[in-house]
Amino acid sequence: MKKYNQKIMPVMLIAALLIIWEGAVYAFHIPMYVLPSPTEVMKALTEEAGVLMGHGAVTVAEALMGMGISLALAVFLGIVMDCFPLVRQGLYPILVVTQTVPMIVMAPVLIIYMGFGIAPKILTVVLMCFFPVAVSFCDGLAQVDEEYVNLVRSYGAGKLKSYGLVKIPAAVPALISGLKVAATYSISGAVVGEWIGAQKGLGYYLLRVKNSYMLDRVFACVTVIVFLSLCMNGVIRLYQYRALPYMRRK
Amino acid sequence: MKLKVEELTFSYENRKVLDSIGFAVDEGEFVSLLGPSGSGKSTILKLLTGVLTPFGGSIAVDDRPVEGLSQHFAYMPQNDLLFPWKTILDNVCLYGQIHGSLEAMRREAKASFPEFGLAGYEDSYPSQLSGGMRQRAAFLRTALCKADILLLDEPFGALDVITRGEMQDWLLKIRRKLNRTVVLVTHDMDEAIYLSDRILILNQSPARITHEIVVEGRQRDRQWLYGQGELRKEIYDRIMAGVREVKTYDSSMAPQ
């Protein structure tokens, strides 16, 4: 019953908010260019479904490539930082500082350096996603009980093998936690990159319809961005469910 | 396979933990290292496995010096240290995975599961097993190592009294079949008396072996253990004799 309530309550709350929103738009005669009603947003969604899917596919592709690069970089750097404490001491504060730079400032700079192609969008995703993945993985590696490592070492495993047998598998749950956060950021990262300069993608579409004061389409696009972000998060959760059965049983 | 340890010394930073430890263990013998907590018993096992490097002294097996990681020893730590992400079968085959003989070890392990009370749990995860079963799985992992000397570091220390007793009975039974040399670290006097052929008593850190007690009586059972009051008292006295005496100065008795 408690589990059922946990699932049904957010749905009920969202439904209530949508009804209030719809009612308020009609009751106060709010024009569409100020605030479209949920039904107008839904109408725009169905009308623009094909266009949104096309732009969405571009954004998802950029997000996936950015996530892949972030993951590979985070795993590589995580292991290097764990192996060499001096590298960790030097690099970790720099990683933190990179997160304080607003991405809306960095994106135009990347376009100046890299042009209007796909590269600056992917790099924007990387800059947004790398940090949560790298920090989670580094912390996961650092928190591995040294007794496990001693055990495999006493059984004859070298340092490299002890990473494969103990440290990396033990840090995988932490890595996946970071990936869940990064997956949610990845679509927004790609949209920010596209917003600054692109010819395809949801960010480009968003900028175009915003400039035309088509707020129903802006809201429709935002709905798609939220949906895709949740889907990315869901994919990681599904992977966790399938790949880490021992966590499922807890 | 005879183990000989001579003049072994070790320090953690500036704190001397072991001071000239020396003992020998014959093939097939079960020897317990008994001493107060923090006396460095576990450190001795870590030095034997090669996880730690001694500051001085030597370790030899069959008169051949042993340095660094060695295949002579199989170490069972205080906690079961089963990997939560591996099934019990994969956990107990850890040695095979490290040395590239996983399939052969899987077959060997499967055959041993009933004897270790783990039949039917091959594909279970450690979180699905009771404390006693986890310890048996950890012991099977140790026994499957192709090592001559088993090093058991307080293997039942984390278990409740009833389960610990059951595990000790089980270990006595299984030991005869395994026929391996065993070095057990414990601070439980009854465990040492019940299981060992010989007990080496350590004093507080920096530890030295202060006494050695040979335990007679191969046909052991709980009734036999309950009758060992004298031996228990003797061991207790010897441990206490090695502990530094702390005197309390009563300031009210001081001259005003």
Residues A153-165 pLDDT 10s: 888 888 889 999 9
B103 within a domain of the structure (yes/no): no
B4 within a domain of the structure (yes/no): yes
> Which among A147, A151, A169 has CB closest to B85?
A169
Contact B81, A148 (CB under 8 A): yes
- Mean pLDDT for the stretch of residues A223-228: 95
Q: Is pLDDT of A42 > 60?
A: yes
Q: At what angle do helices A119-142 and A168-196 cross, to 10 degrees?
A: 160
The contacts of residue B251 (CB under 8 Å, 6+ apart) are none
DSSP-based three-state secondary structure for B136: helix
A41-50, A116-125, A216-225, B212-221: which range is least confident on average?
Answer: B212-221
The whole-angstrom separation of Cα B33 and Cα B36 is 10
- Classify residue B31 by burial, with Cβ atoms within 10 Å: 0-12, 13-18, 19+: buried
B204 within a domain of the structure (yes/no): yes
Q: Which of B42, B45, B51 to mutate to test the interface with A (most CBs of A within 10 A)?
A: B51
B144 within a domain of the structure (yes/no): no
**Closest CA–CA distance from residue B73 to any residue of chain A (Å):** 8
> Which among B71, B84, B126 has CB closest to A156?
B71
DSSP-based three-state secondary structure for B170: helix
Q: Which residues of A touch B139 (CB under 8 A)?
A: none
Residue B184 has φ and ψ, to the nearest 5°, of -110, 130
| Residue A249 forms contact with B (CB below 8 Å) | yes
| Residue A156 forms contact with B (CB below 8 Å) | yes
Q: Which residues of A touch B81 (CB under 8 A)?
A: 145, 147-148, 151
How many alpha carbons fall within 13 Å on the CB side of residue A138? Answer: 25
pLDDT of the residue at A56:
95
| Residue A164 forms contact with B (CB below 8 Å) | no
| Residue A50 forms contact with B (CB below 8 Å) | no
Q: Is pLDDT of A18 > 70?
A: yes
Q: Are residues A116 and A229 in the same domain?
A: yes
| Residue A160 forms contact with B (CB below 8 Å) | no
B223 within a domain of the structure (yes/no): yes
Under-50 pLDDT residues of chain B: 244-256
Q: Are residues A5 and A92 in the same domain?
A: no
> Which among B71, B98, B126 has CB closest to A152?
B98
Q: Is pLDDT of A97 > 70?
A: yes
- Classify residue A153 by burial, with Cβ atoms within 10 Å: 0-12, 13-18, 19+: buried
Q: Are residues A150 and A231 in the same domain?
A: yes
Average per-residue pLDDT for chain A: 90
Q: Are residues A221 and A105 in the same domain?
A: yes
pTM value? 0.78
The whole-angstrom separation of Cα B151 and Cα A230 is 51
Q: Is pLDDT of A48 > 70?
A: yes
- What's the CATH code of the domain at B29? 3.40.50.300
* Contact at CB, A153 and B98, closer than 8 angstroms: no
Contact A191, A64 (CB under 8 A): no
Contact A203, A192 (CB under 8 A): yes
Please give the angle made by the CA atoms of A128, A132 and A133, to the nearest 5 degrees: 105
- Classify residue B66 by burial, with Cβ atoms within 10 Å: 0-12, 13-18, 19+: buried
Go through chain A and tell me how many residues it has.
Answer: 250
Residue A165 is given by DSSP the state: I
B90 within a domain of the structure (yes/no): no
**At CB < 8 Å, which residues of chain B contact A?**
46, 49-51, 69, 71, 73-75, 77, 79, 81, 83-85, 94-95, 97-99, 125-128, 145
pLDDT of the residue at A243:
87
- What's the CATH code of the domain at A210? 1.10.3720.10
Distance of CA A150 to the CA centre of its chain: 36
pLDDT of the residue at B217:
66
Q: Is pLDDT of A46 > 70?
A: yes
Task: Give the domain extent around A70.
Answer: 37-248
The whole-angstrom separation of Cα B40 and Cα B33 is 10
* Contact at CB, A156 and B75, closer than 8 angstroms: no
Please tell me whether the peptide bond between A85 and the residue prior to it is cis, using omega within 30 degrees of 0: no
The whole-angstrom separation of Cα A123 and Cα A82 is 25
pLDDT of the residue at A1:
63
Task: Give the domain extent around B14.
Answer: 1-69+185-245
Tens of pLDDT, residue by residue over A61-83, are 999 999 999 999 999 999 999 99
B76 within a domain of the structure (yes/no): no
The domain tally of chain A equals 2
* Contact at CB, B49 and A154, closer than 8 angstroms: yes
Among all residues of chain A, which has the CA nearest to that of B96?
A: A155
Beta strand B64-65 with B56-61 is: antiparallel
The contacts of residue B43 (CB under 8 Å, 6+ apart) are B10, B17, B18, B52
Among all residues of chain A, which has the CA nearest to that of B138?
A: A151
Q: Are residues A100 and A58 in the same domain?
A: yes
Q: Which tokens is B10 given? A: 């070790």
Tens of pLDDT, residue by residue over A27-39, are 999 988 889 999 9
Tens of pLDDT, residue by residue over B61-83, are 998 998 888 888 999 988 889 99
Q: Which tokens is B129 given? A: 């097993």
Instruction: Give the E-state strand segments of chain A in sequence order.
Output: none
> Which residue from B207, B216, B244, B235 is spatially nearest to B18, judged by alpha carbons?
B207
Q: Are residues A92 and A154 in the same domain?
A: yes
The contacts of residue A17 (CB under 8 Å, 6+ apart) are none
Q: Are residues A135 and A96 in the same domain?
A: yes
Q: Is pLDDT of A115 > 50?
A: yes
pLDDT of the residue at B255:
44
The helix (run of H) or strand (run of E) holding residue A9 is helix A2-27
* Contact at CB, B51 and A150, closer than 8 angstroms: yes
Hey, how many other C-beta atoms are within 10 angstroms of the C-beta on A181? 17
* Contact at CB, A151 and B71, closer than 8 angstroms: no
pLDDT of the residue at B219:
64
Among all residues of chain A, which has the CA nearest to that of B124?
A: A246
The whole-angstrom separation of Cα B32 and Cα B43 is 14
The domain tally of chain B equals 1
Q: Which of A153, A154, A160, A242 to mutate to test the interface with B (most CBs of B within 10 A)?
A: A154
Q: Would residue B100 be called left, alpha or beta, if left means φ above 0 and alpha means ψ between -120 and 50 degrees?
A: left
The whole-angstrom separation of Cα A173 and Cα B168 is 36
Query: What separation in angstroms does the CA of B71 have from each of A2, A59, A161, A214?
Result: 54, 55, 16, 74
Query: What separation in angstroms does the CA of A117 have from each of A51, A111, A200?
Result: 20, 8, 10
Among all residues of chain B, which has the CA nearest to that of A162?
A: B98
B111 within a domain of the structure (yes/no): no
pLDDT of the residue at A6:
77
